[in-house]
Chain A
């Protein structure tokens, strides 16, 4: 077979031609926005416990964040970046602090502009620290330990209320609740898990309740996980307090509430602060009798916002139980998107500067305008008071978000 043997042009490439080509290439690389049809997406990391003990929470958070990302992208993406789309990158903290830091490193490797989430205080502490090394902005959800924003980390912001802010409000509302009902509660028993979270709360309550006119009869600690709550409940039965202030994680809260029911201990009220199960639809569905009337002061989305209803329907349709993680992470993504929008850049430093100086709409959370102080704490954040009423969890305080009147005392 014969080939056409056209002689190849062997013109030597001149130095000038190389330079020209090089210059053209540089322009191409430097200005991708001009040459490509679509702007580069803005990657944002979501650090949540997808597996491990808190997997349920991580899953609910993911649902909320994904919903918000879709909403923002469908509405045309980040306008100041030419309609850049948001791209969610999930990091699994596997419900423990070490893995949380590792997952943050992975997100850094994936080239995200910021990390959202954290969920538990222990995880948020290590993860924000890991992110700080890369100047990677980190907006914390749910985690309440005050120390998270008190280490001078420039990259760390917290969207939700911290522990001190929440307890202060919880106490104020407790006094109001009691006063409105004609002061039926005078004595209190505190029941708490003996970790950082429960003991911290118990200590604070022991200091602050007596000046408000409550007598703290006893503060009862138990380990997590607890095999049995009958001793704790027996002690409460012998103390016979008007009010019980519990703080434990989900399993222990359920065990405690069920044992109270079994031992026929009927206080005038159960008032939890960041209660493990008190604002969980799973608890209400599985043990409606034990859950009846339980009050909580916790993160909670604005019940009157129609998107809250939509999110709840999405979660319920997937066969899961709705909790606050969903609206919080929905709102977090919106706060992040606004920060990028206002920065006009996906650059980490510019996003940090934007978060530190601007005000943001708070999405579904009842915070009004979100504003981070010099430590990175959202000063507008506040928890809501809820109560299990029938098969539902209703907001009872503050008045502008309330769906129902508090039922107190419950066993009169």
Chain B
């Protein structure tokens, strides 16, 4: 069997990878919680953000972490426009139409990226891409450690926005009672668009954290989004702390089952948990009965 060092390192790796998953799931769960739709374009939007980070690095030599400061507002604006002027109007207020509109969007975005960037995979090579943080006998990947830290900070920030600002209050009001919120003068389309925009900004942060050690191709988003869906269900649909805890947990499970059963079977653990949660706690860990 493996020495304790190896097991601990694998679990820590899983925890740190799970943090990135959580960040992606955060946007998804927020959009679900408020708009009550499953955003199928989430993976494609992540890919857009990753390409944006790549372009800034490849063309302008910008550090991927610094580029978050540019890509996050851009993605925020992009998300706002997308929801306010395309998804919202095109869905005519019906939830199942929104579902199809986001699915259609994901196909359009993926193919537009394919046309613009070809299907090659792109990487960013930084000095710290494969640097390690040594803690005793453990060799931890530097970009992963940064990823974990930034994810926790982002979640905290999001929680503050939702609980301490007027926009946050409006978002929570719309999530709880759409009609009531609009009666007290809250613009529901604006809140929807703000929520979608925040979700997209989270993706920009995830993209900046991923790019130093990962690659991007027009299909990359798909590899993450299925895991993100699982996390949203596991954590409770619409729950911000649920997404964080769910993400970390999924990362741990993937790492442990990957180590003991091999990476081909590593994914099984994730979906086993998914099924068990659906069977015994359908609202998820932090979900509330609707």
Binding site for B on A (CB under 8 A): 51-53, 55-56, 95, 194, 220-223, 225-228, 230-232, 234-235, 237-238, 250-251, 254-255, 258-259, 261-264, 286-287
Contact = CB atoms under 8 A, between A and B. Distances in A.
Nearest to A49: B119
B266 A231 contact: yes
Q: Determine the main DSSP class of B at the interface with A.
A: mixed
A315 to B, nearest CB: 15
Nearest to B227: A227
Contacts of A194: 264
A263 B125 CA distance: 17
Interface of B: 2-3, 6, 9-10, 13, 17, 114, 118-121, 123, 125, 129-132, 139, 141, 214-215, 217, 223-224, 255, 258-259, 262-264, 266-267
Given A221-B262, A238-B2, 17 more contacts: A51-B114, A51-B118, A55-B118, A225-B223, A227-B223, A228-B17, A231-B263, A231-B266, A234-B9, A234-B259, A235-B2, A250-B121, A258-B130, A262-B141, A264-B139, A286-B123, A287-B125
B263 A262 contact: no
Contact of B264 (A55, A222, A235): A222
Contacts of A263: 132, 139
A177 B285 CA distance: 57
Contacts of A95: 119
B120 to A, nearest CB: 6
User: For B10, B217, B262, which residue has the most chain A Cβ atoms within 10 angstroms?
Assistant: B262
User: For B17, B224, B267, which residue has the most chain A Cβ atoms within 10 angstroms?
Assistant: B17
Nearest to B210: A227
Contact of A238 (B3, B217, B258): B3
The 10 closest A-B pairs by CB, nearest first: A222-B263, A262-B130, A231-B258, A194-B264, A221-B264, A230-B13, A238-B6, A234-B6, A231-B259, A251-B121
Contacts of B2: 234-235, 238
Contacts of A225: 223
A238 B6 CA distance: 7
A232 B123 contact: no
A262 B131 CA distance: 7
B85 to A, nearest CB: 31
A220 B130 contact: no
Contact of B17 (A55, A227, A262): A227
Given A221-B264, A263-B139, A264-B139, A231 B255 contact: yes
A322 to B, nearest CB: 16
A129 to B, nearest CB: 25
B17 A53 contact: no
Nearest to B20: A227
Contacts of B264: 194, 221-223
B262 A222 contact: yes
Contacts of A238: 2-3, 6
Given A55-B118, A55-B119, A262-B141, A223 B263 contact: yes
Given A222-B262, A222-B264, A231-B255, A51 B119 contact: yes
Contacts of B123: 254, 286
A226 to B, nearest CB: 7
Contacts of B125: 286-287
A223 B17 CA distance: 17
A286 B126 CA distance: 11
A230 B141 CA distance: 9
Contacts of B224: 227
Nearest to B3: A238
Contact of B139 (A52, A56, A262): A262
